Amino acid sequence: MPSDQGDDGDTPVPLQRPLAMLSPSNPMPRALRQQPMQIYSHRFRDAKPINFGASTSPRKLAVHGVDVSRWQGEIDWDTLRTQGANFVYIKATDGGDHLDPMFKQNWRAAQQAGLKHGAYHFFYWCRTAGEQADWFIRNVPKEAGALPPVIDVEWNGESSCKRRPSREQVLAKMQVFMDKLEKHYGQRPIVYTAPDFYRDNLSGELLNYPFWLRAVAQHPSKVYPGRKWLFWQYSGSGVSHGVEGRIDLNAFHGSEQDWHNWVASSVH
């Protein structure tokens, strides 16, 4: 998940206690919640295919999806969906002042195409967590039916921010950000991360949060031993009708029925 922005100063952020799960203020009507969406089978290709092993291939998972940003350009969402994109996470914000220029268009178009969709934020270590949460909330609609928000935490060597806070500082900043989002959206955020950042900061931490793990060479069980996970980003070199160039491919951890159950419990 690429970043687009440089960043600036920071001040210490206090650790906050996790919030309890909150009731939605604008729930989706029960009749809509009870209608499971059609699941399209995996028809993506991969420009750099990996053999994950017969028993741990992502193709064995029933529900696949994608994540997108400005770099995918104009997308034919109806075609992308029938290729196997049953959900999409859309890049929304970086740091405290950058909005992906395609976010609003992608959000509306994914909704119109009937895709389950959510937004993600690329976290910067040179901005306060509160500023970043406020910026995300300002730009991402509180929409009935949307998937839970995602915080993307990783070390980004291309950023102008070279700061690498301690594990304690990382966790404190993440907690402030996630608490603010949970309070606003009524959904527990999902944590997206990559192997090196996970080893430095998140192994054994945040056990009450769902994780979305990048593992493009081995199964998550080998890269993140002992970590329960919700989504697996298994490729950054996917190829699909409906989108030009490469696209990230992801899978949900569970059966088709598990997916419907998770959506029913996580989407308002």
Specify whether the CB–CB gap between 68 and 119 falls below 8 A: no
**Does residue 154 have an active-site annotation?**
yes
Tell me the C-alpha distance between 135 and 35, whole Å.
33
The strand pair at 211-214 and 45-46 is best described as unpaired
Q: Roughly how many angstroms between the first and final C-alpha of the chain, as a whole number?
A: 26
Residue written as token pair 């901005």: 127
How would you classify residue 169: left for phi > 0, otherwise alpha for psi between -120 and 50, otherwise beta? alpha
Maximal CA-CA distance, the chain: 49
**262: closest CA among 78, 57, 137, 87?**
87
Specify whether the CB–CB gap between 39 and 256 falls below 8 A: yes
SS3 146: coil
Given 74, 154, 158, 205, the catalytic residue: 154
Residues annotated as catalytic (active site), given as ranges: 154
